Amino acid sequence: MGSAIPEPASFRDPDSAVFYADGLVLRGLSEQGAADWRQLAGTAFFPRLVDEGRIVRTALYEAEAPLAPRGEPWSLVLEHERIPVISYPFEWPFAMLRQAAICHLEVLLAALEEGITTKDGTAYNVQFVGSRPVFIDLGSFEAASGPWPGYRQFCQTFLFPLLVQAHLRIAYQGLLRGSLDGLQPGDVRGMFGGLRRFKRGVFRHVYLHSVAERRVTASSESVKAELGRAGFGTELAKATVAKTLKLVRRLEVKRSGTAWSDYRDTCSYTDDDAAAKRAFVEAALAAGPSRCVLDLGANDGAYSLLAAGHAEQVVAVDGDEAVIDGLYRRLRQDGITNVLPLVMDLADPSPGLGWRNKERAPFAERLRPDLVLSLALVHHLAITANVPLPEIVDWLHGFGARLVVEYVDRPDPMTRRLLSNKPAGLFDDYRIDHFEQLLAARFHIAERQLVPSGTRTLYLCEP
């Protein structure tokens, strides 16, 4: 075996650690971790949920494995199926975080039925394969005893964000990105003052939780005892998880339209423009099989869905939580499983976070696309976000993939609207000749097509 590369996010549990070797995703287990695994492997729920795709597919690794970090051999090594693209809870829209929470609770409930619980309840224990949530932390399973140890983490990273958006219509993405530990009970309690504390799920999971935590200043065992007195004892564990699952399933957000959720009805495309653009993109997609297509500024996902028929995996990214939420719901409804929708401001993409800024990797390091779609995006980055054109082209080149990019020229109604609120002369370099010069310096322009209206140009580029 080649040298092992530790997973930067897997270092806190002494009984379980993920690492990579020879292109494989492996998990080393201590003696205690191996005992927990054997108990898990002997249950009825585990193989059933693996077959249903709700727990990551896992097998014993029989070959020689690297040593543990302190130099001793692992008692057991597992091999996990690789997740195509890693994403994080602060990149998920409401419906996606809710579905991940449901997955986590359903897995836990099935485990509790056979005397097993999970050590923690963090949202980072779940990943998505396209639109399907998958529980990935097999090192979290252990024999059940007392209250669920992961309840606090589940509240902070799953339930509190969902309650805040469902009841207060406050987007949680920035809050979760600001703290990998999630939302603190006391902070969330402050958001639900007065009669708001009696909104569905708030009094029990926020108010009582906050009161219990304020009383406890000692060890985690004291926290367990306090939560037990609040109704979270071992004898009520299954009932509590079932009630929490019921609550999560009922949470919903009341939506109002955004500028981008109504984009298809208000954009400046003619029917001929739209048809020409779709044909150009489809030809680029059909030119060769793609493992991963990245759709930047995906909006409602029209082109992501088009790409889904040509690629193993599509990652659809947009800054509007409402449209990505709508896309995720459509994917679930239509049974489309190879599109991963993410919420992200592309002028401020997800950075490296956590310990040494490596625990959660930057967005650009988590995927290697074969084809990038950048449709009706450049003018927004250049004019709205004030990102210089050379920076935009360098950024697109950095993905190392084929590129379909759309340039929206100055006479276009959308560009004129964006420029109307900007000082005169500030964007004089936003010109098609300047853009093409920059593009040609970084790519080979294989195809160029002006759409019928004459204000938008499509390019197919090779890096």
Tens digit of each residue's pLDDT (9 = 90 or more) over 192-227: 988 888 888 888 888 777 776 665 544 445 555 555
User: Taking phi first (over 0 means left), then psi (-120 to 50 degrees means alpha), and beta for anything else, what does residue 194 get?
Assistant: left
Q: Do residues 208 and 227 lie in contact, with contact meaning Cβ atoms separated by under 8 Å? A: no
Contacts of 441 (CB under 8 A, 6+ apart): 393
Mean pLDDT along residues 67-79: 79
> Does a structural domain hold residue 255?
no
Q: Mark which of 60, 80, 100 sits at the end of a domain.
A: 80
Structure tokens given for 288: 């060769």
DSSP-derived 3-state class of residue 460: strand
pLDDT digits (tens, 9 = 90+) for 110-119: 999 999 999 9
Q: Do residues 100 and 233 lie in contact, with contact meaning Cβ atoms separated by under 8 Å? A: no
pLDDT confidence of residue 262: 58
> Does a structural domain hold residue 343?
yes
pLDDT confidence of residue 271: 92
366 confidence band (pLDDT: 50, 70, 90): very high
Beta bridge partner(s), residue 317: 296, 342
pTM: 0.91
Distance between CA atoms of residues 324 and 343, nearest Å? 6
Contacts of 414 (CB under 8 A, 6+ apart): 267, 268, 376, 379, 408
Q: Could you tell me the sign of the dihedral formed by the alpha carbons of 262, 265, 266, 271, in that order? A: positive
pLDDT confidence of residue 121: 95
404 confidence band (pLDDT: 50, 70, 90): very high
Q: Mark which of 63, 80, 97 sits at the end of a domain.
A: 80
87 confidence band (pLDDT: 50, 70, 90): very high
Task: Give the DSSP per-residue string, 340-351.
Answer: EEEE--TTS---
pLDDT confidence of residue 217: 44
Mean pLDDT along residues 404-418: 96
∠ CA 267-269-274 to the nearest 5 degrees? 125
Q: Mark which of 194, 222, 250 sits at the end of a domain.
A: 250
Q: Are residue 446 and residue 353 in the same domain, yes or no?
A: yes
> Does a structural domain hold residue 451?
yes
Q: Are residue 75 and residue 110 in the same domain, yes or no?
A: no
pLDDT confidence of residue 218: 41
Mean pLDDT along residues 294-302: 97
Q: Are residue 17 and residue 129 in the same domain, yes or no?
A: no
Q: Are residue 185 and residue 234 in the same domain, yes or no?
A: yes
User: Residue 263: is its pLDDT beyond 80?
Assistant: no
User: What percent of the chain stands above pLDDT 70?
Assistant: 90
447 confidence band (pLDDT: 50, 70, 90): very high
Q: Are residue 56 and residue 98 in the same domain, yes or no?
A: no
pLDDT confidence of residue 219: 45
363 confidence band (pLDDT: 50, 70, 90): very high
User: Residue 249: is its pLDDT beyond 70?
Assistant: yes
Which residue range(s) make up the domain with 200?
89-250
Q: Are residue 105 and residue 210 in the same domain, yes or no?
A: yes
Distance between CA atoms of residues 299 and 316, nearest Å? 8
What CATH number did the domain enclosing 380 receive?
3.40.50.150
User: Residue 260: is its pLDDT beyond 60?
Assistant: no
> Does a structural domain hold residue 257?
no
pLDDT digits (tens, 9 = 90+) for 224-245: 555 555 555 555 788 889 999 9
Q: Which of 193-197, 253-257, 364-368 has the highest mean pLDDT?
A: 364-368
Q: Are residue 417 and residue 359 in the same domain, yes or no?
A: yes
HSE toward the beta carbon, residue 243, CA cutoff 13 A: 12
Q: Are residue 59 and residue 136 in the same domain, yes or no?
A: no
Distance between CA atoms of residues 121 and 147, nearest Å? 12
289 confidence band (pLDDT: 50, 70, 90): confident
137 confidence band (pLDDT: 50, 70, 90): very high
User: What percent of the chain stands above pLDDT 90?
Assistant: 75
265 confidence band (pLDDT: 50, 70, 90): low
pLDDT confidence of residue 460: 98
Q: Do residues 54 and 122 lie in contact, with contact meaning Cβ atoms separated by under 8 Å? A: no
E-only strand ranges, 305-443: 311-318, 339-343, 371-374, 402-408
Q: Are residue 127 and residue 158 in the same domain, yes or no?
A: yes
> Does a structural domain hold residue 171?
yes
Burial class (CB in 10 A: 0-12, 13-18, 19+), 16: buried
Beta bridge partner(s), residue 442: none
User: Residue 259: is its pLDDT beyond 90?
Assistant: no
> Does a structural domain hold residue 51?
yes
69 confidence band (pLDDT: 50, 70, 90): low
DSSP-derived 3-state class of residue 289: coil
Number of domains the chain is built from = 3
Q: Are residue 285 and residue 204 in the same domain, yes or no?
A: no
Least Cα distance to 43 among 139, 143, 136 occurs for 143
